Amino acid sequence: MAASEESLRKALAEKQSAVEAHGNAVRALKAAKASKPEIDAAIEALNSLKLEKSSIEKQLQAAVSGSDGDGALSREAFRQAAVNTLERRLFYIPSFKIYRGVAGLYDYGPPGCAVKSNVLAFWRQHFVLEENMLEVDCPCVTPEVVLKASGHVDKFTDLMVKDEKTGTCYRADHLLKDFCNEKLQKDLTISAEKAAELKHVLATLDDLSAEALGAKIKEYGITAPDTKNPLSDPYPFNLMFQTSIGPSGLSPGYMRPETAQGIFVNFKDLYYYNGNKLPFAAAQIGQAFRNEISPRQGLLRVREFTLAEIEHFVDPEDKSHPKYSEVVDLEFLMFPREEQMSGQSAKKIRLGDAVSKGTVNNETLGYFIGRVYLFLTRLGIDKDRLRFRQHLANEMAHYAADCWDAEIECSYGWIECVGIADRSAYDLRAHSEHHVKNVFDEGQREGNIDFIGTNLDKSGVPLVAAEKFSEPREVEKLVIAPVKKELGLAFKGSQKNVVEALEAMNEKEALEMKAALESKGEVEFYVCTLGKNVPIKKNMVSISKEKKKEHQRVFTPSVIEPSFGIGRIIYCLFEHSFYTRPSKAGDEQLNVFRFPPLVAPIKCTVFPLVQNQQYEDVAKVISKSLTTAGISHKIDITGTSIGKRYARTDELGVPFAITVDSTKDVTIRERDSKLQVRVSVEEAALVVKSVTDGLRTWEDVWEKYPHHTSGSADD
């Protein structure tokens, strides 16, 4: 907890005690029928203490909300204004609205679709094209065996609690998080020690077991939010939507919870397509599905959403990047784990310094952090409300080398929008080594079985890469040689399972077995395909190290994975772009979205100043030129005042408006500055295109063309 907050809480507690003591003194004076001047003086002192207490409360409220004292209320009011505008102008709305909707499902309307399309187009240009990535498009329905290998079937869970009377489900960690935040932000009477305890709970929330989470819920007396009924103990709930492949229901599957597995299982073919060369990256944009327990927060937590994911495959012994120098001097807010653990705030750090000091694990990870920063800020995300937070030890997967989240601040707080992780070689190994037992499908269709994994003992495909040596190298290799005759006598029909399990041992396991066999003569060995331990004797297997000459090094590549939650990025972009400004008359506040031209749903509007056939004909000529140039636009020939038409399009975030008031020249108005320039009819579309394509800025246009003023433009 920040020192100022701690001292304010202590000061508030002391002032509260003083107020209570003076209150008792005033009551005692009145009971003793003291003189009026004496009572008045005591009341005046009490009121003075109350004012001091109120001042400390305001300071404390500002400290905990990170605002000017109206923090929580103003955030909620701002969010409501933004969301009302977004829904009214059909950027997005709840799905199945006429049937009262379904929590966690949303439809994008016309401007929302356009923003999303523009964001994804820029993502493709910024990553896929500039980095020469291999783009794939894989099915949403995924066989169970794939997600079993990746760990999703067993581990893709959240802890859930139920209202013991109504059966309504809630996510357990969200209830505890909400309780702690509510106490910290709105209960100013809690002690500094209690505040520190609640902050510690928030910091370690991801590390709490089901038992520890349940104990905290009971300790704090947390009940069902809607009914105040008691809650069940937390238990795991798998977030994947389950389905079956084929009519028999014998081939289980799931709607994919992420797009990455489609890339991993295609690694061998992609590696071949890339000329058997590393490093290379594969990318995929697609829908993912998570059956959230209690979705809320609009587009930030939904059950169906768009992911854009990159898997950059690299030699684990060389994680340098040839383009790292392009981002090395970027400086932005970073939040390393040491600062988080010591209660400090994020601070601006030069990316090159973070990599050279080992704060960021390697150059390739650092390169993608820099590229993500450039992507988000060019979209229109405020760089001062964007930070890169390193995962704490309790958040890191056991196999990950390092992981950072790009977090964007909005009215809901800091929201994780992009994860950038060095996942080591875990994923490819998981799919290479996974065993499939007794996978059958209901039959065949024109000679082709529905599920290609039928009757496989393993995935059967080594997902590896190779480095060819210019000269052969002598290396020491582990050799595991099962004695099949002895194993056959001992295990009969299970001999094949035992042989495969022995051959699949890694070096550490094999050397430990060798030492145990030499000292004891027999060891217990777990065979996963049999699901039990079996006794292995010294005469059943030979384990040794031999020197061999090799012409290549075969290895499993590591993967650096940037994963983008597109819906979350878009919602934060909506908030960062939204503001209000007074009308010219000052009698109302007008809503504006200051989208950069890059992502604006409509780039330009065309307005005849008045209803006039000649002006309307010119407007149609300009519209045709804009269409030819590939500029999305809207033509409005209604008789509404030009000021109202500007206001309508400002609310959609349209950056430029062309007003036709002659047959030769027109005005181009820029949304945020409201400045206008005069250009010829023939040049209008080209000027707009040059700015929307980023070839020039509005400042360049302002310097080149004659300025125009109009008293009626913003009436």
Express each pLDDT in 15-57 by its tens digit: 888 888 888 888 888 888 888 888 888 888 888 888 888 887 7
pLDDT band at 420 (very low <50, low <70, confident <90, very high): very high
Mean pLDDT score of the chain: 87
Supply the pLDDT for residue 3. Answer: 47
pLDDT band at 445 (very low <50, low <70, confident <90, very high): very low
Please report the sign of the dihedral spanned by the C-alpha atoms of residue 29, residue 32, residue 33, residue 37: negative
d(CA 67, CA 69): 6
Span 147-172, mean pLDDT?
90
H-only helix segments in 609-662: 613-628, 642-650
What's at 644, amino acid-wise?
Answer: K
Question: What is the β-pairing status of strands 106-108 and 304-314?
Answer: unpaired
Q: How far is CA 586 from CA 374, 636, 651, 671, 711, in A?
A: 38, 26, 17, 18, 15
- Nearest to 631, CA basis, from 668, 665, 594, 661: 668
Residue 451 has pLDDT above 50, yes or no: no
Is residue 663 a contact partner of residue 678, using CB atoms and an 8 Å limit?
no
Top pLDDT among 192 and 464 is at 464
Supply the pLDDT for residue 83. Answer: 95
pLDDT-above-90 percentage for the chain: 58
Weakest mean pLDDT among 447-451, 505-509, 611-615: 447-451
Span 690-708, mean pLDDT?
93
pLDDT band at 715 (very low <50, low <70, confident <90, very high): very low
Weakest mean pLDDT among 68-82, 321-335, 498-512, 679-693: 68-82
H-only helix segments in 127-259: 144-150, 152-155, 172-186, 192-203, 210-219
Weakest mean pLDDT among 89-93, 293-297, 349-353: 293-297
Residue 484 has pLDDT above 80, yes or no: yes
- Peptide bond preceding 279 in cis form (omega within 30 of 0): yes
Give me the phi and psi of 401, to 5 degrees please.
-85, -35
Question: 62-118, pLDDT tens digit by residue?
Answer: 666 555 444 444 788 899 999 999 999 999 999 999 999 899 999 999 999 999 999
DSSP sequence for 427-457 = HHHHHHH-B--S---S-EETTEES-TTTT-S
Supply the pLDDT for residue 271. Answer: 96
Supply the pLDDT for residue 710. Answer: 64
Residue 355 has pLDDT above 50, yes or no: yes
Span 474-485, mean pLDDT?
87
Span 577-586, mean pLDDT?
87
Weakest mean pLDDT among 64-68, 144-148, 337-341, 521-525: 64-68
pLDDT band at 452 (very low <50, low <70, confident <90, very high): very low
Span 671-676, mean pLDDT?
94
Supply the pLDDT for residue 5. Answer: 66
Top pLDDT among 84 and 397 is at 84
Q: How far is CA 498 from CA 453, 488, 507, in A?
A: 22, 10, 17
d(CA 106, CA 90): 11
pLDDT-above-70 percentage for the chain: 92
Domains of the chain: 3-65 (1.10.287), 67-149+257-425+558-579 (3.30.930.10), 157-237 (3.30.40.230), 445-459+469-556 (3.30.720.200), 602-704 (3.40.50.800)
Residue 255 has pLDDT above 90, yes or no: yes
Span 233-260, mean pLDDT?
91
pLDDT band at 623 (very low <50, low <70, confident <90, very high): very high
Please report the sign of the dihedral spanned by the C-alpha atoms of residue 53, residue 54, residue 58, residue 61: positive
Residue 712 has pLDDT above 70, yes or no: no
Beta bridge partners of 423: none
Residue 458 has pLDDT above 50, yes or no: no
Span 257-266, mean pLDDT?
94
Give me the phi and psi of 411, to 5 degrees please.
-65, -15
pLDDT band at 382 (very low <50, low <70, confident <90, very high): very high
Supply the pLDDT for residue 221. Answer: 92
Supply the pLDDT for residue 39. Answer: 87
395 Cβ neighbours under 8 A, 6+ residues apart: 206, 207, 403
Supply the pLDDT for residue 436. Answer: 38
pTM of the predicted protein model? 0.80
Supply the pLDDT for residue 71. Answer: 44
Q: What angle do CA 247, 249, 255 make, to 5 degrees?
A: 100
Strand order in the sheet with 676-680: 633-635, 604-608, 656-660, 665-670, 676-680, 707-708
Question: What is the β-pairing status of strands 347-350 and 331-335?
Answer: antiparallel
SS3 of 680, please?
Answer: strand
d(CA 264, CA 310): 11
